Amino acid sequence: MRKNSVLSSHGTRKKVRAYLVATQAKNTQLAYQSDIAHFLKSGGRIPATPHCVASYLAVHANTLSLATLSRRMVAIGHAHKDKGFASPTRSALVTDTLRGIRRINGSRQRQVMPLLKTDLVKITRKLPGLIGLRDKALLLIGFAGAFRRSELVALQVEDVRFVAEGALIRIRRSKTDQNGIGRNVAIPYTNGRHCPVQALKLWLQKSGIRTGALFRRMNRFDQVTDYGLCAASVALIIKQRVAEAGLNPKQYSGHSLRAGLVTSAAKAGVSSWKIRQQTAHKSDVMLQRYIRDGQLLHNNAVSKIW
């Protein structure tokens, strides 16, 4: 019996492969590629034995975070699956080694400092030039929308709609929305010179951007290019601007804007469900880390009895 030419064609196989690749976000794919490259550079191979993977974990237990090691295990597992091999990461030797590392080194992840509203106002008070307008709009919008850096750099002019009360910004896809359902984030006008909506309007007006990437790279002549910022650029901009304001750049990252909105809102007494409305967290569990840390000195037991 003749094979179905449609189902067996090379073009169809390529399409299947493309859809399989699309099940992972681009940033995840890049992270996995980097993870596998590090594993191979360290003497690993595909297929690998459980002893090989466990040895890799032991060698890097004190130089890589537990989160990174765990992600490396996922990447190694995917690499074996893609090539039709059984994954050594599921073996008792590997899982027990990772469990031992967690017990000895602890599982607490590094927490970056939240960029609070008071510090943000200080940082964006005097940013010179067109690049200063871009960074001010980027920082204020990133904070007000509680955006991840990947969400910020993915924004297009067409995703922004200015309304009487402020701006509605469309997030087409995010870390927790890999299917691209999307959501709208409302950013209202605020009083003062540090209104996120006004800062964004001024950036668009002065840059002359009418379509395409919202936040773009600048050349050495302070001119706007056609290329959008990458996620790493957001972290670098934050570090540069906090350093200029006298803060320690090592304590801040691209996540500091999102953490800053949550912490600042919690300090101001905003209810958790209203905060989640802005951040799109599914529950209060993830919020509690920011809220708890942000309120350690607020209504502290010592201040009540001293």
Entry pTM: 0.68
CB atoms near residue 52 (< 10 Å): 17
Question: Residue 68 has what pLDDT?
Answer: 86
Of 75, 105, 135, the position where a domain reaches its end is 105
179 pLDDT above the threshold of 70: no
The string of pLDDT tens digits covering residues 142-165 is 999 999 998 999 999 999 999 999
Buried b (16+ CB within 10 A) or exposed e, 253-273: bbbbbbbbbbbbbbbeebebe
Residue 163 lies in a domain: yes
> Under 8 Å CB-to-CB from 106, ≥6 apart: which residues?
66
CB 60 within 8 A of CB 66: no
Residue 112 lies in a domain: no
CB 43 within 8 A of CB 60: no
Question: For residues 70 and 261, what is the distance between their CA atoms, to the nearest angstrom?
Answer: 29
Find the CATH number of the domain harbouring 172: 1.10.443.10
Provide the 8-state DSSP code for 28: H
pLDDT bucket at 192, cuts 50 / 70 / 90: confident
Find the CATH number of the domain harbouring 73: 1.10.150.130
1 vs 116, residue with greater confidence: 116
Number of folded domains in the chain?
Answer: 2
Active site residues: 148, 175, 255, 258, 281, 290
Q: Which domain holds residue 74?
A: 5-105
The string of pLDDT tens digits covering residues 235-278 is 999 999 999 999 999 899 888 999 999 988 888 888 888 888 88
- Is residue 128 reached through a cis peptide bond, with omega within 30 degrees of 0 on the bond before it? no
The string of pLDDT tens digits covering residues 199-217 is 999 999 999 999 999 999 9
Instruction: Indicate if 87 and 213 belong to the same structural domain.
Output: no
Question: Residue 1 has what pLDDT?
Answer: 46
